[in-house]
Amino acid sequence: MSNQEPDLTAAQSPSASGTSTRDVEVANQLAAGRDYFAAHDYARAAECFERAIAMRHDCGEAHLLRGDLYAATGDRDDALDCYQLAAHFAPQNSTAQVALAEALLECGSDADAEAACRRAIADNPVSSRAWLCLGNILKRRGALEQAAEAYRVAWKQDPAEIRALEQLAFVLFRLGQYDDAFAHFQVLLGAAPGSHRAHHNFGLLQLETGFAAEALGSFTRALQLQAETVESVTCAGHALRDLGRIEEAIAYYDRALGLRPGFGDALANRALALLLKGDFANGWTQYENRFEAGGKQRRSIGAPVWRGEMLQGKSVAVLSEQGVGDEIMFASCLPDLVAAASQVTLACEPRLTALFQRSFPAAIVVPQQSPDDARSSARLTADFEISIQSMKQ
């Protein structure tokens, strides 16, 4: 872009249709502000937008652009204020509505964000940005199937919208639709081979479906693109562990903990790796310290933690904690617990509900998606509780 400053003196002539001189000057200020914004000259862009608002306080476009400017400089609160004014003064402007929705979502006002997003879609049903935002809202709510459909629409409306494809592939993985997820990841990696997140998430899919060697390749590529990302370092450790390369896995977990001391995923899985190599004393000690050391919230229904007490006539709630693979591995301890207690209620990852219901018919099996789900379920009241990952101790 040229460094030449926008010409603010060459005002357009008012048209015969009645456009006022003020409206022309407002338009000129907005045009100049956009040019300054594009050139990252935020101070002069702000001056232009403020002059436009001073001339016409109800100019929705000026408030929208000013909000974009605040957002670009990290001023989230002022950006939200501007987007609210833009949506108020220009309620039919779908861009203003979706910008407001995105800002509200970032602030945690999900219900208001969804309302603004649906207004944007009603005004402009082909807005890829609006459908992407709706997908993000639904995903955060846990409505993954609806989120997937929103992402599909966003990607259909704009095949170049890589974020929609990226989110769609990941949500399909979370839904357990592995073949569909794999196909979408293949398209995504073809379109965005330099995306760290795409390679990382593809690695998660490969790891969960039993392709540990391929997953290690994906995490390695992710780290080549964005070195020292603690999540990718940790997941590379998971892949090495699943390949039986335990010492290398521990080295990766140590590397992750060097990047982020107390990182819960690395702490817990380092402890598991120690157990796998037969170091039970250190393994169990570190595993039971994973909450305190990692600052991770333990799932709880408010019952005392079971520590081996007699269970005759007592009930136990077994709560899920992390990955599907770990839940399946630790579930081998459940038959003894079911035999000892009067009632066992297992809250597990939703994808495992049917499997565990068939495997443990004497237990009550319920899906659990978040720490709050356990407390909100009337079926999850018990004399004791325990994390499924603590049962082998």
The helix or strand, by DSSP H or E, that contains position 103, with its residue range, turns out to be helix 94-106
* 60, part of any domain: yes
In a domain, 237, yes or no: no
Q: Total domain count for the chain?
A: 2
Contacts of 206 (CB under 8 A, 6+ apart): 212, 214, 215, 218
Exposure string over 232-257, b if 16+ CB within 10 A, otherwise e: bbbbbbbbbbbeebbebbbebbebbb
Res 285: pLDDT: 84
pLDDT score of 374 = 43
Residue 161 pLDDT: 96
Q: Which residue has the higher pLDDT, 261 or 4?
A: 261
Query: Is 91 contained in some domain?
Result: yes
Q: Between 157 and 283, name the one with better pLDDT.
A: 157
Domain end position, chosen among 86, 104, 125: 125
Predicted TM-score of the model (pTM): 0.77
Which pLDDT does position 78 carry in this prediction? 96
CA distances from 388 to 168, 277, 279, 297, 393 (A): 30, 21, 20, 15, 11
CA-based nearest residue to 206, from 192, 222, 229, 227? 222
Helix, strand or coil, per DSSP, at residue 28 = helix
Task: Indicate which CATH number applies to the domain containing 4.
Answer: 1.25.40.10
CA distances from 348 to 32, 116, 174 (A): 57, 34, 14
Whose tokens are 């595993």? That residue is: 287
Q: Domain ends where: 72, 91, 125?
A: 125
d(CA 124, CA 147): 19
Give a yes or no: residue 121 inside a domain: yes
pLDDT at residue 40 greater than cutoff 80: yes
Asked which of 60, 90, 125 is the last residue of a domain, the reply is 125
* Tens digits of residue pLDDT in 139-198: 999 999 999 999 999 999 999 999 999 999 999 999 999 999 999 999 999 999 999 999
Highest average pLDDT, of 18-32, 234-248, 357-371, comes from 234-248
Select the more confidently predicted residue: 289 or 105: 105
Place of tokens 């861009």: 95
CB 366 within 8 A of CB 379: yes
Is residue 182 a part of any domain in this protein? no
Checking if the pLDDT of 3 tops 50, the result is: no
Altogether, the residues listed in the chain come to a count of 393
* 11-20, 85-94, 253-262: the lowest-pLDDT one: 11-20
pLDDT band at residue 48 under the 50/70/90 scheme: very high
What pLDDT does 380 receive? 76
Please, which pLDDT band fits residue 289 given cuts at 50, 70 and 90?
confident
> Domain for residue 132, yes or no?
no
Q: Does residue 272 have a pLDDT over 80?
A: yes
Above 70 in pLDDT, residue 319?
yes
Tokens of 69: 């400017």
What is the pLDDT, as a whole number, of residue 4?
47
- Give pLDDT tens digits for 229-242: 999 999 999 999 99
Domain residues for the domain of 363 are 315-390
pLDDT at 379: 53
Average pLDDT rounded to a whole number, residues 211-222? 98
pLDDT at position 214 over 60: yes
Q: What is the mean pLDDT of residues 53-69?
A: 97
Residue 255 in any domain: the answer is no
Domain annotation covers residue 17: yes
Given a contact cutoff of 8 angstroms between Cβ atoms, the answer to whether 64 and 34 are in contact is no
Identify whether the C-beta of residue 332 lies closer than 8 Å to the C-beta of residue 301. Answer: no
Rounded distance, CA 82 to CA 338, Å?
A: 58
Mean pLDDT of all residues belonging to the chain: 89
86 and 96 Cβ atoms separated by less than 8 Å: yes
